[in-house]
Amino acid sequence: SILTIYAVDDEGHKIDPESPLWKHLTINAKRVKWVVEDELSDLMIMGERFFSIEKVNFLRATAVYLHQFLSKIQLERYTYEVIKKTFLRYPSISNLLIDYFYAKFSPQIEDVCSHCGTKLEKRKKEEAAMKLELTAAIENVEYEVHKDIFYGALHFIDHILKTNYFLEDSIGLAFRMDPKVLDPDIYKPLPYGFFFFYGRGYKGFHVRFEDMSRGGLRIVRTRDMEHYDFESVRVFDEVFALSWAQHLKNKDIPEGGSKGIILLHPNAEVQQSVECVIDSMLDLLVPYGDHPLHPNIVDHYGKPEYIYLGPDENMRDDLIEWIIDRAKERHYKYPNAFMSSKPGVGINHKKYGVTSQGVNVYVENTLRYLKIDPYEEEFTVRMVGGPDGDVAGNELKILIKTYPKVKILAISDGEGAAYDPLGLDKGEILRLAEASLSIAHFDKKKLKSPGAYVVTADTPEGRKMRDEQQLSNEIHAHLYIPAGGRPNTINIDNWKSLLDSAGRPVVKAIIEGANLFLTNEARLRLESRGVIVIRDSSANKGGVICSSYEVLACLMLTEEEFLAIKDEYVYEVIEILKEKAQLESELLFREYNLRNGKIPLTHLSKQISKEINDLTLTIKECIGKEFEKGQRFDLYERILKSHFPPILRQEKYWHRAATMIPEAHRLAILATTIASYIIYREGLGWIQSLNYPDIVRIIQVYLEQDRLVSDYIRTILESNLPGKETIAQILDHNARKELTREILMAD
């Protein structure tokens, strides 16, 4: 569309193209496209005070942010509409809010003297004066609801660390928030940091639990305003929960956990919204010439930030390519690592089934725990997520191709559901999976029993049957594998739907292939009834492990080099992620048995993640200086090397690790490799049981004994000693920890 404006100055003359008024008009003419029109727009025509387009849009963003958190106090009291009307009712206080925001972030305020370079106190003084005036005005507000809203807005501004608001060409708003803005009683633990995004047709958050973190960017589309309003009030909580689950899941890799969600208005355009969010985020990350950020960004954070994204729901291949290309255009330092799974050059999770490979390790180990040999005996499965899905589609293929006697009783996905008590036709499921088609396309002629059905979710009745199938207590199965669907589908209010009339579970085990499909309360209630529950942070970690290894390849190899070895590299990565799933699965069931099943697997899974993450953090803090100075080089290089796929250990690639992988990344690899190795091998609580104050000393002694024991085992197995396998097994199980304990006791 073309926008034509006819305008004159206050005296009716043609506007001078060099005048501030002309500049103001041209900037705002471009901004019109990126803002919505609502009741707050009335502020722009109030006679007593002038609110510009961008100032009103800031109030709009503030209202969206406040609605997320004030609605938790009382949903009906602090609606989005009430917050906006409060800003309208008190335009003078709304203006003071904006003045305070400007005092903190306006690039027009000099922080450093342009002549002598001395730091100035001007910004700090203006900020303090404005805050005093604003607080006094808020105190005079009569109604508590309105007062809460203005204090909430003040709290929001106080905790913004940087924003792209003052960039003339920004197409959406982005705010890097101090996590201390969050209520620590509600959000435990506090994240490392988060971004808030707002623009025409979307809102969103990105939360991370460590400086260097990895996780998916999810696009949530909404059907209508009712659906949009429902998702709006919970979007931050969902991002927070998903990023924390991701952090628990990321225990095997150097990156912490993160997650981003872009929530779209029913009429929003996906491509445009994603572009706005990504460009807004890059505004706060990329350098500008010799400056760490654009000069118009006042940075109260003061450190460079690197974000690693991955694909998630509704993230198309063309969007992934655009994100990476845009990062290159904007001179982001590691553009190929900014978003993983680039078509062709990246490792496509769906094509290679990387998440499902890890899920299936738990499927097999859980069946063996239930005394079922999946290769010889029949077992039954019900699944959420269809043949066209990433995790579900690949898991269906693995089940059918690997276990000849598996019976898949029920499948549901976004488009429909199918059920057959005699088992859905395997050939038909494979046909749908290979063609990437929903279960709604299942050929009804392939159904075997009178009670079988196929329904589509394009009618109210079909949706009802689909939703009821996910919670049905009439479908008895050994395994329930949610590998799709929305978070919190099974929760404290409906978990009993999986019990029969006598209160017995209708499934033996749940393998949570989808993130947060069950709430924690639901997991624990089902476990108390005897269900084996493998939570998401254990079951589906294969995808993020793969993404982390993709980043390693991006950092060390050119695109051409990677493509030349891609098949071999992907094979090695899949073997690594299966091994990591196996190690955790073995530890999980070992600890469960040691406690006679009295500690829920849900708690044990979380404890494994916590111990590995805590030990990783301690190791990073303790050996960082040693690592930086190159001390204990041989020991640390051996451990570092063990993390890499074999092909990258080859001399022609390995020498690049020290120069092309950032030092902080290498230190994180070293720390997480040591931590996960010790805890998977020796179990929960072993380090604490030593009651030894020096963690560095424990690690050093253990690693030395590990090398010694490994050499002994190799020598024994190469000998002619009778019973050598048994001797080697005994050494492998106990020698490292006992030798370590003995040496430490002698200190």
Question: Among 163, 185, 216, which residue terminates a domain?
Answer: 163
Please tell me the predicted confidence (pLDDT) of residue 48. 46
Cβ-based neighbours of 412, under 8 Å, separated by 6 or more: 383, 384, 385, 386, 418, 439, 466, 469, 470, 485
Residue 635 domain flag: yes
What's the confidence (pLDDT) of residue 486? 83
Section 11-29 average pLDDT = 71
pLDDT of residue 649: 95
Q: Are residues 143 and 180 in the same domain?
A: no
Domain boundary residue among 140, 163, 186?
A: 163
One domain for residues 196 and 332: yes
Checking if the pLDDT of 115 tops 60, the result is: no
Tell me, yes or no, whether 264 and 366 share the same domain.
Answer: no
Q: How far is the CA of 561 from the CAs of 52, 324, 555, 646, 651, in angstroms?
A: 52, 18, 12, 15, 14
Same domain flag for 201 and 309:
yes
Judged by average pLDDT, the poorest of 104-118, 580-594, 610-624 is 104-118
User: Does the pLDDT value for residue 5 go beyond 70?
Assistant: no
pLDDT at residue 169, as a whole number: 84
Of the candidates 485, 572, 586, 474, the residue with the CA atom closest to the CA atom of residue 536: 485
Residue 346 belongs to a domain:
no
Q: Give the DSSP letter string of 77-120.
A: TS-HHHHHHHHHH-HHHHHHHHHHHHHHH-TTS-SB-TTT-PBP
Q: How far apart are the first and last CA of the chain?
A: 78
pLDDT tens digits for 213-239? 999 999 999 989 999 899 999 999 999
In sequence order, which residues have a C-beta less than 8 Å from that of residue 482 and are 6 or more positions away? 383, 384, 385, 470, 489, 490, 510, 512, 513, 514, 517, 518
Amino acid present at 206: H
Mean pLDDT of 358-387: 98
Pairing of strands 213-220, 256-264: parallel
Percent of the chain, pLDDT > 70?
94
Residue-wise pLDDT tens digits, 654-701: 999 988 998 889 999 999 999 999 999 999 999 999 999 998 899 989
pLDDT (mean) for 462-484: 95
* Three-state SS at 5: coil
For residues 495 and 610, state if they share a domain: no
Q: What's the whole-number mean pLDDT along residues 461-476?
A: 94
User: What span, in angstroms and rounded, lies between the C-alpha atoms of 381 and 428?
Assistant: 16
Catalytic residue among 162, 249, 259, 350: 259
Distance CA(320)–CA(341), nearest Å, equals 7
The answer to whether residues 145 and 179 belong to one domain is no
Q: Is residue 10 included in any domain, yes or no?
A: no
CA angle 485, 527, 478 (to 5 degrees): 65
Which amino acid, one-letter code, is at 575?
Answer: E
CB 207 within 8 A of CB 239: yes
- Please indicate, yes or no, if residue 344 is contained in any of the structural domains: no
**What secondary structure letter does DSSP report for 13?**
P
Mean pLDDT (the chain) is 91
Q: Please tell me whether residues 143 and 192 are part of one structural domain.
A: no
577 in a domain, yes or no?
A: no
Answer yes or no: do 154 and 181 share one domain. no
Which one, of 366, 394, 381, 460, lies nearest residue 424 by Cα? 381
Mean pLDDT computed over 645-656: 94
Burial of residue 250 (number of CB atoms within 10 Å: 0-12, 13-18, 19+): buried
Write down the pLDDT at residue 375.
97
Separation CA 741–CA 738 (nearest Å): 5
Q: Where are the alpha helices (DSSP H) in 451-490?
A: 460-470
Residue 624 — pLDDT band, cuts 50, 70, 90? confident
CA 604 centroid distance within chain = 21
Average pLDDT (252-261) is 96
Q: Which span out of 53-57, 77-81, 213-217, 678-682 was modeled with the highest average pLDDT?
A: 678-682
Is 372 among the domain residues?
yes
Residue 464 and residue 395 share a domain: yes
Q: Do 634 and 729 lie in a common domain?
A: yes
Q: How high is the pLDDT of residue 168?
A: 85
Domain boundary among the residues 113, 143, 163 is at: 163
Q: Which CATH number fits the domain that encloses residue 393?
A: 3.40.50.720
pLDDT tens by residue, 148-186: 999 999 999 999 999 999 998 888 999 999 999 999 999
- Quickly state the pLDDT bin for 75 (edges 50, 70, 90): confident
User: Residue 636's pLDDT is what?
Assistant: 79
* Span 70-83, average pLDDT: 88
- Cβ partners under 8 Å of residue 573, min gap 6: 347, 354, 545, 546, 549, 550, 645
Statement to judge: residues 156 and 177 lie in one domain: no
Q: Cis peptide before 311, with omega less than 30 degrees from 0?
A: no
259 is catalytic: yes
CB–CB of 339/327 below 8 Å?
yes
Report the pLDDT averaged over residues 588-608.
97
**Same domain flag for 68 and 100:** yes
pLDDT at 31: 65
Number of domains present in the structure of the chain: 4
pLDDT class for 110, splitting at 50, 70, 90?
confident
Measure the CA angle with vertex 314, ends 187 and 170; round to 5°.
Answer: 75
Backbone angles phi, psi at 174, to 5 degrees: -135, 140
CATH code for the domain in which residue 310 is found: 3.40.50.10860
Question: SS3 of 509, please?
Answer: strand
pLDDT per residue over 711-741, tens digit each? 999 999 999 999 999 999 999 999 999 999 9
7 within a domain of the structure (yes/no): no
- Would you list the DSSP string of 295-362? TT---SS-S----EEEE-TT--HHHHHHHHHHHHHTT-SSHHHHB---TTTS--HHHHTHHHHHHHHH
Residue 392 counted as domain residue: yes
| b (16+ CB within 10 A) / e for 103-115 | bbbeeebeeeeee
pLDDT at 32: 65
pLDDT at 280: 97
CA distance 87 to 79: 13
> What pLDDT shows up at residue 8?
73
- pTM for the model stands at 0.86
Give me the domain span that covers residue 647: 598-746
| Alpha carbon distance 623, 607 (integer Å) | 24
